[in-house]
């Protein structure tokens, strides 16, 4: 019922700046879709176009079965949670929650019933008579949520709703949000620049960059099979390492020769490497795919490097290294690994999990099969 | 179809909100403005007599010694209101700034209170206070400095302007003080403390920290005072009982306009004065804004 | 040497004394000095009010005899309500007898209706300028700024002609309409509204507000200090407006206080006592308003100025 | 429920509603259509007087007259702009004399008021009334208003003090006598504190009101009967010099007492003994300086030469009918009804002390009454005797400007006199007056409507007309 379709949606501002360049996205009913990307990538603009707060320059947006391009926000049957909560400061919490119902001329008793239900659900029943000023950040956040829930809309739109909370609260609220979605089962579109939120919350993730949708898929798929270098680098902390070099073949085997001379043997060639022979490419390796010991059967893929910084984090150890030619990368090692600053070590790559990208910011990932 | 209208509706909204302004400004401002502009090239006398006289009204006004006098009086008044009234307001604001809230409120209330009285009332009240021998002001001066009991403030050409300035001082000091107080609140206290620690004396602190901080407010107040000074009319008008003082010593630009248009019945010349005055105000206030360099900040 | 001098010398001496007693902590002495200066200035500001208060109750024959009040033994003879009695005497007119309280009501009505109308239109304009982007906005803003510099008298004659032609002469429309949307007010409200986060308006749009109901339900309640300040300024301006009613109102029963009171100080009549009694009464409503609205007024006006 | 927009707008709204209702309730009267005549006056006392008379006129003619009172300055302003805007104007107005000039700036057929000359002549009013009074309301020989009054000026003095000082006012025949006696007996520091506290005359240093009185008495004037500017004649110069000497410097005999309460305070304190008092002002004295009852008396003005004119004039009101009026005949009837109403002259004299210009009225018993305030004098008789001598005062289009400019010379001369004394004063004043006259001529020459050969703007000295 409340599917949301975006078809070639564009946003071009009066000054000629194209914020969104033809985004197409299908969001299924009851799905939790997270749109993620760095600031300025057009994700908020996309959300605001769905909400009707921003005029659509091209394409169509469909909510349910209705094209809503020219439907006023109030008639789109959506609710939105804002980054700054946008609670009405002159109204009490109750009035804030009841406002939209009042405008829709619900009977008083019905309003009261709904508001108290929602307040109960969000554990803010005792705050109903207070003004937003008197609430803590977390409580305000709940009121903002409540204001969206109380209307029982076809879709929730979240615009970075957690960014104003402190780190600890953000994590707990994140979990609550997920539980809430499971309970309400309403289509949700959630915009964030925080990849952790995206990974944890989304049924599917939509990664945007430069006004374009890069990849839409389930979180783990995006993590494991990023379509391009941008998506790969965006998800994961510390981010994926990119090492420059070129593909070559030696002894009948495909190898990746790093600029500093180290050679990494590549595996499972489906034949797609052939066209990239002797071309400048980028090898993408996630930090956790480095080890100090060679992997079984992969003896010939070490990089001679120097340790610059070691950050023991308890559950793991982040090691900042540079190769001989000065390419920097981070390895994520077992916390008990004996490694220290200024050590010269050879780092081994789990080549099965490495990716090769075309050069450039959004260089295509050539190691995942196209289908 | 209703859906399609929404965009147009949103685009139209600001114009709808501004519609009352547009309507009123066209009817009661632009139309009269154009009439006044056309009028300034005409001489009129009753409905039947209307004659185009070209720039004669302007050339007459610009060479009229009375107009020169009015400009001189207005300029003197403006200078005094900026260099006497505003420093006093600022001084009072600084005296009050660090006071306790209640004390501050009390003095603020008192010093602002003259603004509650209309200019027309203030004028008549002060015309009685300035009465020689019996007037409160004359008696006060007499007992304070043994001078001024017999001063004919409103009859002596050299004293009329001071009388207007004193009356205006009483009226407006409190108003500007409130602006300065607000400006002083925005002065960063840590900056003052830092300057103190750096060894600045109070004067240096005022000059180097306080004054730059209240510059936007000061600019605002100076511009508003200047515009106000150039539009001065009702106060001297009622103070001098509808006249313009002996030897036109209480003649200001707007009173000159009023006299031309409504006493002498020469609406055309009056309109010309109006346009000259408008030009003067614009040039002066824009220069002030430019000079203070707050044009960009001032939105 | 007289009382005033001795008093001032005593104050100065006290300052010297305070300073001499604790030369290491001059702050006490200077705080004392500061309040003395403030108090003296406040006294000077209040003196005309006190004089007005005294004069309003003085019999016209003794108005000039004493600076303030007559000695207490003369009170019974010289202090009375004669000025007020004269003021409240009925005045014959073509519309029947007119009483002073009618002028008070007229003034109150005119001032309050002007305030309401101006507040409504100006805040609407200010909202549009603060929160919408639209074609011609810059031109409008510039035009408004320029129009503030054109003195009202320039337009007096053409506006008069207009008022007569559209048949508004001798009605309050003539006083309310031309200034119903004040440019100054639009700037003030714009200044106040600019600071309201855009999110609130959008939340309102999503919650189901029409554009007008956003203005009424969300914006206006949030600029209450400015509304208060603007109310006071407008009320004062309209209450004390002299030229307008003087020019546009003919009927005696429709006149307002400043015009009526001014009739007591013409060439043919110089009843200063009556005028002053009336002035005293005329100060009361704005004084009450100011007293109640002090906080809003200060914060509203100063927010306009600080932001420039 | 709280009002969402704050307390202030709430209470103001409440006030607007309450006062609006109160206004509706208090306006129980209804405006029964447009009245046949609208008549605007500026003097409150005229207003009260006419209010009593008009119902009789309404009954007689079965019409409706609306009387309005408007302050004098706005009346002029409003009338002027109404005439300019060609909009609705009252049918009849009462105007004060200096303001009349402003309406005379254009060609005769554009004055805005009905030319009454023929009607006045037909009723022989120019003979029945004091002839010089038509001067105020005439331009280029045509009469545009009916004079309400004569306003002859006498001197009112503190009889008690003057008698106490042993002064016989009957012996003061000329101004020279007056000045001499003032120096000899009046001007003194009575209590010896170094400040002179008794003066002979009330003269403002700026010459407001008083200078024209003296000038007119002397036969000087700002305009002649044809509207030519005559402000810079020798008479004006002589009068300015006299005025300066009596109001400035150490040998002055006058004190500027001001207006209103300060004036009456000076009068009752005995700071000034003599005042210029036209008939209307004698009533103002009675009301505003009540406690001087029986202590005042009137005498004719001292003459400028033996046997010369012993009165002048100050002020004047005229009734004009507007050109736009639709009921001009009815208006003329009302004008006659109010201004020639013998029955009412008595009432009005009792109320206003004003002598009507209609000569035959002066014999009425009301004008023979002894006035207690003026020590039992028959003041009606005193003024009536002075009335025929009242000098004409031609107003001309630029009356107010000429008056102002002449008084500027008076003030500049006064400052000169206080600085340098008598030496070179005449030359200074003459020079200044010529300058101001040249300025006024320049302004008059700008007036394209008067250029049409109707008025010749000549040098003052070429037209030395002396009207009686």
Q: Do C208 and A83 touch (CB under 8 A)?
A: no
- In the predicted model, what is the mean pLDDT of chain B? 87
Q: Nearest chain C Cα to A48, which residue?
A: C202
**If you average pLDDT over each of A244-258, A286-300, B13-27, which comes out highest?**
B13-27
Inside any domain, residue C21: yes
Buried b (16+ CB within 10 A) or exposed e, D204-235: bbbbbbbbbbbbbbbbbbbbbbbbbbbbbbeb
Give the length of chain B.
299
Which of A191, A178, A180, A172 shows the shortest CA–CA distance to A149? Answer: A180
The answer to whether C259 contacts chain D (CB < 8 Å) is: yes
The answer to whether A71 contacts chain B (CB < 8 Å) is: yes
Query: Residues near D194 by Cβ (< 8 Å), separated by ≥ 6?
Result: none
Chain C positions touching D78 (Cβ under 8 A) are: 247
Buried b (16+ CB within 10 A) or exposed e, A273-304: beebeeeebbbbbbbebbbbebeeebebbbbe
The model's pLDDT over B237-280, given as tens digits with 9 standing for 90+, comes to: 889 888 888 888 999 999 999 888 877 778 889 899 999 999 99
Please indicate, yes or no, whether residues D28 and D95 belong to a single structural domain of this protein.
Answer: no
DSSP-derived 3-state class of residue D259: coil
- How far apart, in whole angstroms, are the C-alpha atoms of residue A362 and residue A366? 12
Measured in whole angstroms, how far is the alpha carbon of residue C28 from the centre of its chain? 38
- How far apart, in whole angstroms, are the C-alpha atoms of residue A333 and residue A318? 6
- How far apart, in whole angstroms, are the C-alpha atoms of residue C148 and residue C188? 13
> Which partners does chain D have (≥3 C-beta pairs < 8 Å)?
B, C
Q: Beta-carbon neighbour count of residue D443 at 10 Å? A: 19
pLDDT greater than 50 at residue C17: yes
Q: What is the dihedral of CA C156, C157, C160, C164, to 10 degrees?
A: -170
Contact C126, C185 (CB under 8 A): yes
Inside any domain, residue C241: yes
Tell me which residue has tokens 């400006």: B183
The answer to whether B116 contacts chain A (CB < 8 Å) is: no
Q: Do A72 and B4 touch (CB under 8 A)?
A: no
Q: CA quadruple D137, D141, D144, D146: dihedral positive or negative?
A: positive
Contact A33, A189 (CB under 8 A): yes
Please indicate, yes or no, whether residues C51 and C145 belong to a single structural domain of this protein.
Answer: no
Q: Do D265 and B134 touch (CB under 8 A)?
A: yes
Contact A305, A320 (CB under 8 A): no
For chain D, the domain total comes to 3
The answer to whether B6 contacts chain A (CB < 8 Å) is: yes
DSSP A268: -
Nearest neighbour of C108 by CB, restricted to D19, D43, D81: D19
Q: Do D258 and B45 touch (CB under 8 A)?
A: no
Please indicate, yes or no, whether residues C122 and C224 belong to a single structural domain of this protein.
Answer: yes
Please indicate, yes or no, whether residues C131 and C21 belong to a single structural domain of this protein.
Answer: no
What is residue C305's predicted lDDT score, i.e. its pLDDT? 58
Please indicate, yes or no, whether residues D163 and D292 belong to a single structural domain of this protein.
Answer: yes
User: What are the backbone dihedrals phi and psi of residue A108, each rounded to the nearest 5 degrees, phi first?
Assistant: -55, -45
Please indicate, yes or no, whether residues D165 and D270 belong to a single structural domain of this protein.
Answer: yes
Nearest neighbour of D262 by CB, restricted to B131, B247, B248: B131
Q: What is the dihedral of CA D29, D33, D37, D42, to 10 degrees?
A: 40
Which of D378, D377, D151, D159 shows the shortest CA–CA distance to D267? Answer: D159
Mutate which: A63, A68, A72, vs B, most B CBs within 10 A: A72
The answer to whether C136 contacts chain A (CB < 8 Å) is: no
Cis peptide before D429 (omega within 30 of 0): no
| Rounded percentage of chain D residues whose pLDDT exceeds 70 | 91
Q: How far is the alpha carbon of C302 from chain A, nearest alpha carbon, in Å?
A: 22
A204 vs C165, higher pLDDT: A204
Global ipTM: 0.84
Q: Do B7 and A70 touch (CB under 8 A)?
A: yes
A299 vs B107, higher pLDDT: B107
Please indicate, yes or no, whether residues D302 and D239 belong to a single structural domain of this protein.
Answer: yes
Tell me which residue has tokens 């002396």: D466
Measured in whole angstroms, how far is the alpha carbon of residue B143 from the centre of its chain? 32
Please indicate, yes or no, whether residues D258 and D383 belong to a single structural domain of this protein.
Answer: no
Strand partners, D275: D156
Structure tokens, C42? 């406040």
What is residue A299's predicted lDDT score, i.e. its pLDDT? 66
CA distances from C207 to A52, B298, C279 (A): 12, 34, 51
Expressed as residue numbers, the domain containing C135 is 100-306
Q: Nearest chain D Cα to C164, which residue?
A: D87
DSSP D218: T
Tell me which residue has tokens 């002498």: B264
Q: Do B183 and C307 touch (CB under 8 A)?
A: no
Contact A365, A227 (CB under 8 A): yes
Mutate which: C135, C207, C210, vs A, most A CBs within 10 A: C207
Q: Give the CA count within 13 Å in the CB-facing half-sphere of C77.
A: 7
Strand pairing category for D138-139 and D142-143: antiparallel
Size of interface B-D (CB pairs under 8 A): 98
- How far apart, in whole angstroms, are the C-alpha atoms of residue D223 and residue A107? 84
Q: Do C94 and D67 touch (CB under 8 A)?
A: yes
CATH number among 1.20.1740.10, 2.40.50.140, 3.40.50.880, 3.40.640.10, domain A240-357? 2.40.50.140
Measured in whole angstroms, how far is the alpha carbon of residue A37 from the centre of its chain? 6
Structure tokens, D459? 């040098």
Q: What is the CATH number of the domain that holds D217?
A: 3.40.190.10
Expressed as residue numbers, the domain containing D133 is 35-151+314-389
Contact A205, A173 (CB under 8 A): no
pLDDT greater than 80 at residue C293: yes
Q: What is the dihedral of CA B171, B177, B179, B180, to 10 degrees?
A: 150
Q: Do A73 and C200 touch (CB under 8 A)?
A: no
- How far apart, in whole angstroms, are the C-alpha atoms of residue C115 and residue C119? 6
What is residue D89's predicted lDDT score, i.e. its pLDDT? 78
Measured in whole angstroms, how far is the alpha carbon of residue A219 from the centre of its chain? 8
What is residue A307's predicted lDDT score, i.e. its pLDDT? 92
pLDDT greater than 50 at residue B15: yes
What is residue A147's predicted lDDT score, i.e. its pLDDT? 92
Q: What is the 3-state secondary structure (H, E, C) of C82-136?
A: HHHHHHHCCECCCCCCECHHHHHHHHHHHHHHHHHHHHHHHHHHHHHHHHCCCCC
The model's pLDDT over B177-196, given as tens digits with 9 standing for 90+, comes to: 988 988 888 788 888 888 88
Strand partners, D96: D317
Q: Do C206 and A51 touch (CB under 8 A)?
A: yes
Query: Residues near B299 by Cβ (< 8 Å), separated by ≥ 6?
Result: C307, C308
Which of B61, B66, B64 shows the shortest CA–CA distance to B41? Answer: B61
Mean pLDDT of B92-110: 89
The model's pLDDT over C189-207, given as tens digits with 9 standing for 90+, comes to: 998 899 899 889 999 999 9
pLDDT greater than 50 at residue B296: no
Nearest neighbour of D51 by CB, restricted to C92, C106, C165: C92
Q: Do A52 and C205 touch (CB under 8 A)?
A: yes
Q: Which residues 211-230 of C are in CB contact (within 8 Å) with A?
A: 213, 218, 221-222
Q: Do D8 and C220 touch (CB under 8 A)?
A: no
Residue spans per domain, chain A? 4-233, 240-357
pLDDT greater than 60 at residue B61: yes
Please indicate, yes or no, whether residues C136 and C272 belong to a single structural domain of this protein.
Answer: yes
Please indicate, yes or no, whether residues C275 and C159 belong to a single structural domain of this protein.
Answer: yes
What is residue D455's predicted lDDT score, i.e. its pLDDT? 44
Chain A positions touching B7 (Cβ under 8 A) are: 55, 70
Q: Do B7 and A71 touch (CB under 8 A)?
A: no
Nearest neighbour of C275 by CB, restricted to B95, B124, B129: B124
Phi-psi sector, B133: left (phi>0), alpha (psi -120 to 50), beta: left
Please indicate, yes or no, whether residues D251 and D108 belong to a single structural domain of this protein.
Answer: no
Q: Do B170 and C48 touch (CB under 8 A)?
A: yes
Q: Which residues 288-307 of D are in CB contact (within 8 Å) with C?
A: 288, 290-291
Q: Do D81 and C160 touch (CB under 8 A)?
A: yes
CATH topology of domain B57-298: MetI-like fold (1.10.3720)
Please indicate, yes or no, whether residues C115 and C43 belong to a single structural domain of this protein.
Answer: no
The model's pLDDT over B218-241, given as tens digits with 9 standing for 90+, comes to: 888 998 899 899 989 989 988 988
Q: How far is the alpha carbon of D170 from chain B, nearest alpha carbon, in Å?
A: 33
Chain B positions touching A69 (Cβ under 8 A) are: 3
What is residue C255's predicted lDDT score, i.e. its pLDDT? 87
Q: Do B247 and D407 touch (CB under 8 A)?
A: yes
Q: CA quadruple C207, C211, C216, C220: dihedral positive or negative?
A: positive
Q: Do C266 and D72 touch (CB under 8 A)?
A: yes
Chain B positions touching A51 (Cβ under 8 A) are: none
Please indicate, yes or no, whether residues D165 and D110 belong to a single structural domain of this protein.
Answer: no
Measured in whole angstroms, how far is the alpha carbon of residue D139 from the centre of its chain? 18
Nearest neighbour of B49 by CB, restricted to D106, D256, D400: D106
Q: Which residues 304-323 of D are in CB contact (within 8 Å) with B?
A: none
The model's pLDDT over C97-136, given as tens digits with 9 standing for 90+, comes to: 788 999 999 999 999 999 999 999 999 999 999 999 888 8
Q: Do B6 and A55 touch (CB under 8 A)?
A: no
- How far apart, in whole angstroms, are the C-alpha atoms of residue C151 and residue C144? 13
DSSP string, D20-38: HHHHHHH------S--SEE
Mutate which: B132, B142, B247, B266, vs D, most D CBs within 10 A: B247
For chain C, the domain total comes to 2
CATH, range A4-233: 3.40.50.300
Please indicate, yes or no, whether residues D215 and D289 belong to a single structural domain of this protein.
Answer: yes
Inside any domain, residue C265: yes
What is residue B30's predicted lDDT score, i.e. its pLDDT? 92
Q: How far is the alpha carbon of C78 from chain D, nearest alpha carbon, in Å?
A: 13
Please indicate, yes or no, whether residues D254 and D364 belong to a single structural domain of this protein.
Answer: no
- How far apart, in whole angstroms, are the C-alpha atoms of residue D52 and residue D32? 20
A62-71, B221-230, C289-298: which range is least confident on average?
C289-298
The model's pLDDT over A4-44, given as tens digits with 9 standing for 90+, comes to: 999 999 999 888 899 999 899 999 999 999 999 998 899 99
Please indicate, yes or no, whether residues C21 and C145 belong to a single structural domain of this protein.
Answer: no
Please indicate, yes or no, whether residues C15 and C160 belong to a single structural domain of this protein.
Answer: no
Q: Nearest chain D Cα to C107, which residue?
A: D19
| Rounded percentage of chain A residues whose pLDDT exceeds 70 | 96
Structure tokens, C5? 């001098």
Angle between helices B136-145 and B119-129 (to 10 degrees): 50
Structure tokens, D3? 């009002």
The answer to whether D69 contacts chain C (CB < 8 Å) is: yes
- How far apart, in whole angstroms, are the C-alpha atoms of residue A126 and residue A134? 12
Which of C65, C86, C88, C87 shows the shortest CA–CA distance to C77? Answer: C65
Strand pairing category for A187-192 and A155-159: parallel
- How far apart, in whole angstroms, are the C-alpha atoms of residue D97 and residue D52? 25
Please indicate, yes or no, whether residues C182 and C237 belong to a single structural domain of this protein.
Answer: yes
Q: How far is the alpha carbon of B198 from chain C, nearest alpha carbon, in Å?
A: 20
A117-126, A141-150, C292-301: which range is least confident on average?
C292-301
Q: If residue A158 lies in a helix (H) or strand (E), which one and from where to where?
A: strand A155-159
Q: Nearest chain C Cα to B140, which residue?
A: C4
Contact D399, D207 (CB under 8 A): no
Q: How far is the alpha carbon of B242 from chain D, nearest alpha carbon, in Å?
A: 8
DSSP A160: S
Structure tokens, D468? 């009686």
The rounded average pLDDT for each run of 10 residues, N- to C-terminus, in chain D (468 residues) is: 80 92 72 74 82 89 85 72 69 87 80 91 91 88 91 95 94 94 92 87 87 94 84 94 93 87 88 94 88 94 94 92 90 92 83 89 91 94 93 83 90 92 94 94 84 44 37
Please indicate, yes or no, whether residues D115 and D264 belong to a single structural domain of this protein.
Answer: no
Q: How far is the alpha carbon of D123 from chain C, nearest alpha carbon, in Å?
A: 31
The answer to whether A12 contacts chain C (CB < 8 Å) is: no
Please indicate, yes or no, whether residues D385 and D345 belong to a single structural domain of this protein.
Answer: yes
Mutate which: B130, B153, B246, B271, vs D, most D CBs within 10 A: B246
DSSP string, D123-173: TTHHHHB-GGGGGGGEETTEE-SEE----BEEEEEEHHHHHHTT--GGG--
Please indicate, yes or no, whether residues C51 and C188 belong to a single structural domain of this protein.
Answer: no
The answer to whether C95 contacts chain D (CB < 8 Å) is: yes
Strand partners, A12: A18
DSSP-derived 3-state class of residue A295: strand
Please indicate, yes or no, whether residues D308 and D214 belong to a single structural domain of this protein.
Answer: yes
Tell me which residue has tokens 């602006």: B179
pLDDT greater than 60 at residue C268: no
Nearest neighbour of C64 by CB, restricted to D7, D45, D262: D262
Contact A162, A122 (CB under 8 A): no
């Amino acid at each position: 019922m409340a599917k949301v379709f975006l078809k070639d949606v564009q946003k071009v501002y009066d000054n000629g700046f194209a914020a969104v360049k033809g985004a197409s996205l299908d969001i299924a009913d009851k799905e939790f879709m997270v749109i993620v990307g760095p600031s300025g990538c057009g994700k908020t603009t996309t959300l605001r176009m769905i909400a009707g707060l921003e005029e659509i320059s091209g394409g169509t947006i469909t909510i349910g079965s209705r094209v809503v391009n020219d439907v006023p926000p109030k008639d789109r049957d959506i609710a939105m949670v804002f980054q700054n909560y946008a609670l009405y400061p002159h109204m009490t919490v109750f009035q804030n929650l009841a406002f939209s119902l009042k405008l829709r001329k619900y009977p008083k008793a019905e309003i009261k019933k709904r508001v108290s239900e929602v307040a109960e659900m969000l554990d803010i029943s005792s705050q109903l008579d207070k003004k937003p000023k008197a609430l803590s950040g977390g409580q305000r956040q709940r009121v903002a949520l409540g204001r969206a829930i109380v209307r029982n809309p076809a879709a929730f739109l979240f615009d970075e709703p957690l960014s104003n909370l402190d780190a600890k609260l953000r994590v707990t609220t994140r979990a609550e949000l997920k539980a809430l979605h499971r309970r309400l089962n309403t289509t949700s579109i959630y915009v964030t620049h925080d990849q952790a939120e995206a990974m944890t919350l989304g049924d599917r993730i939509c990664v945007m960059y430069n006004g374009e949708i890069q990849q839409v898929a389930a979180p783990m798929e995006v993590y494991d099979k990023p379509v391009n270098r941008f998506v790969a680098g965006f998800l994961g902390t510390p981010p994926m390492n990119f090492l420059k070099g070129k593909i070559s073949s030696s002894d009948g085997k495909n190898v990746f020769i790093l600029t500093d001379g180290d050679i990494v043997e590549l595996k499972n060639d489906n034949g797609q490497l052939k066209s990239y022979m002797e071309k400048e490419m980028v090898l993408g390796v996630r930090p956790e795919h480095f080890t100090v010991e060679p992997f079984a059967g992969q003896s010939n893929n070490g990089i001679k490097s120097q340790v610059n910084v070691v950050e023991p984090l308890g559950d793991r150890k982040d090691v900042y290294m540079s190769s001989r030619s000065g390419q920097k990368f981070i390895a994520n090692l077992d916390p008990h690994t004996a490694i220290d600053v200024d050590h010269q070590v050879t780092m081994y790559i789990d080549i099965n999990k490495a990716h090769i990208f075309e050069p450039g910011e959004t260089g295509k990932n050539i190691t995942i099969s196209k289908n | 179809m209703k859906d399609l209208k929404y965009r147009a509706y949103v685009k139209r909204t600001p114009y709808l909100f501004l519609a009352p302004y547009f309507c009123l400004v066209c009817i009661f401002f632009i139309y009269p403005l154009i009439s006044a502009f056309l009028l300034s090239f005409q001489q009129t006398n009753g409905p039947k007599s209307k004659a185009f006289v070209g720039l004669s009204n302007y050339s007459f006004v610009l060479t009229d010694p009375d107009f020169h006098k009015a400009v001189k009086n207005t300029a003197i008044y403006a200078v005094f209101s900026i260099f006497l009234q505003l420093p006093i307001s600022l001084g009072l604001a600084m005296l009050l700034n660090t006071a306790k809230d209640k004390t501050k409120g009390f003095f603020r209330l008192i010093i602002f209170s003259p603004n509650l009285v209309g200019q027309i009332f203030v004028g008549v009240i002060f015309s009685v206070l300035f009465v020689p021998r019996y007037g409160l002001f004359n008696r006060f001066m007499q007992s304070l400095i043994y001078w001024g009991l017999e001063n004919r403030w409103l009859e002596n050409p050299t004293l009329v302007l001071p009388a207007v300035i004193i009356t205006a001082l009483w009226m407006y000091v409190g108003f500007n003080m409130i602006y300065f107080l607000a400006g002083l609140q925005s002065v960063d206290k840590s900056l003052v403390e830092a300057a103190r620690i750096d060894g600045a004396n109070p004067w240096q602190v005022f000059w180097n920290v306080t004054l730059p901080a209240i510059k936007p407010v000061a600019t605002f107040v100076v511009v508003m005072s200047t515009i106000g000074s150039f539009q001065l009319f009702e106060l001297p008008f009622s103070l001098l009982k509808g006249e313009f003082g002996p030897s036109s010593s209480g003649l200001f630009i707007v009173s000159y306009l009023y006299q031309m248009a409504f006493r002498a019945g020469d609406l055309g010349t009056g309109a010309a004065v109006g346009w000259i005055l408008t030009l003067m105000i614009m040039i002066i206030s824009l220069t002030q804004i430019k000079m203070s360099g707050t044009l960009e900040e001032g939105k | 040497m007289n009382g005033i001098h001795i008093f001032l010398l005593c104050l100065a001496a006290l300052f010297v004394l305070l300073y001499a007693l604790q030369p290491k902590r001059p702050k006490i002495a200077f705080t004392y000095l500061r309040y003395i200066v403030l108090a003296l200035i406040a006294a000077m500001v209040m003196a005309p009010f006190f004089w007005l208060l005294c004069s309003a109750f003085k019999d016209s024959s003794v108005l000039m005899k004493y600076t303030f009040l007559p000695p207490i033994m003369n009170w019974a003879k010289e202090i009375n309500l004669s000025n007020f009695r004269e003021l409240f005497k009925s005045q014959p007119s073509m519309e029947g007898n007119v009483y002073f309280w009618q002028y008070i009501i007229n003034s109150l009505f005119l001032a309050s209706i002007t305030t309401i109308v101006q507040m409504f239109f100006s805040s609407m304009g200010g909202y549009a300028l603060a929160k919408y982007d639209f074609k011609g906005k810059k031109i409008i803003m510039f035009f408004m700024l320029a129009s503030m510099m054109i003195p009202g008298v320039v337009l007096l004659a053409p506006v008069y002609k207009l008022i007569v032609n559209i048949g508004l002469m001798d009605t309050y429309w003539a006083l309310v309409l031309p200034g119903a949307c004040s440019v100054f007010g639009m700037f003030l409200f714009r200044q106040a509204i600019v600071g309201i986060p855009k999110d609130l308006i959008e939340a309102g749009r999503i919650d189901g507000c029409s554009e007008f109901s956003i203005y009424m339900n969300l914006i206006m309640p949030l600029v209450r200090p400015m509304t208060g300040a603007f109310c006071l300024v407008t009320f004062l301006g309209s209450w004390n407006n002299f030229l307008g009613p003087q020019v546009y109102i003919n009927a005696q029963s429709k006149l307002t206080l400043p015009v009526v009171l001014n009739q007591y100080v013409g060439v043919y009549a110089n009843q200063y006592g009556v005028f002053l009694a009336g002035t005293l009464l005329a100060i009361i409503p704005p004084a009450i308003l100011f007293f109640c609205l002090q906080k809003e007024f200060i914060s509203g006006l100063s927010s306009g100025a600080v932001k420039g | 429920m709280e009002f969402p927009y704050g307390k202030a707008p709430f209470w103001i709204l409440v006030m607007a509603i309450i006062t609006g209702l109160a206004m509706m309730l208090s306006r129980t009267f209804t405006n029964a259509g447009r009245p046949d005549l609208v008549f605007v006056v500026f003097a409150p006392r005229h207003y009260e007087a006419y209010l009593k008379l008009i119902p009789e006129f309404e009954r007689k003619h079965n019409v409706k007259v609306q009387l309005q009172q408007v302050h004098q300055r706005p009346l002029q302003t409003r009338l002027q702009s109404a005439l300019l805007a060609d909009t609705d104007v009252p049918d009849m107005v009462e105007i004060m004399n200096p303001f009349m000039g402003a309406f005379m700036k254009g060609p005769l057929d554009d004055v805005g008021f009905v030319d009454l000359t023929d009607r006045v002549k037909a009723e022989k009013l120019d003979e029945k009334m004091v002839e010089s009074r038509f001067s105020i309301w005439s331009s280029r020989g045509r009469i545009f208003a009916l004079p309400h009054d004569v306003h002859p000026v006498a001197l009112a003095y503190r009889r008690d003090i003057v008698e106490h000082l042993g002064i016989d006012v009957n012996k003061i025949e000329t101004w020279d006598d007056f000045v001499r006696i003032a120096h000899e007996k009046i001007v003194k520091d009575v209590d010896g504190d170094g400040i002179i506290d008794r003066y002979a005359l009330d003269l403002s240093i700026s010459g407001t009101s008083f200078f024209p009185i003296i000038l007119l008495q002397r036969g000087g004037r700002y305009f002649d009967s044809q509207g030519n500017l005559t402000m810079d004649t020798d008479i004006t110069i002589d009068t300015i010099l006299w005025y300066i000497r009596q109001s400035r410097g150490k040998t002055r005999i006058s004190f500027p007492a001001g207006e209103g309460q300060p004036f009456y305070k000076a009068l009752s304190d005995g700071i000034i003994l003599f005042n210029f008092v036209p008939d209307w002002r004698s009533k103002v004295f009675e009301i505003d300086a009540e406690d001087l009852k029986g202590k005042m008396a009137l005498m004719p003005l001292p003459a400028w030469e033996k046997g010369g004119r012993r009165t002048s004039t100050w002020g004047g009101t005229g009734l004009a009918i507007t050109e736009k009026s639709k009921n001009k005949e009815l208006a003329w009837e009302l004008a006659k009804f109010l201004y020639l109403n013998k029955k009412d002259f008595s009432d009005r004299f009792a109320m206003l002390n004003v002598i009507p210009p209609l000569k035959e009225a002066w014999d009425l018993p009301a004008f023979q009454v002894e006035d207690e305030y003026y020590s039992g004098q028959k003041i009606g008789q005193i003024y009536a005797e002075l009335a025929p001598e009242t000098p004409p005062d031609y107003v001309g289009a630029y009356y107010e400007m000429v008056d102002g400019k002449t008084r500027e010379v008076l003030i500049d001369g006064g400052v000169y006199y206080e600085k340098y004394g008598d030496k070179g004063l005449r030359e200074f004043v003459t020079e200044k007056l010529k300058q101001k006259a040249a300025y006024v001529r320049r302004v008059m020459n700008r007036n394209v409507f008067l250029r049409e050969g109707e008025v010749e703007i000549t040098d003052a000295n070429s037209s030395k007309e002396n009207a009686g």
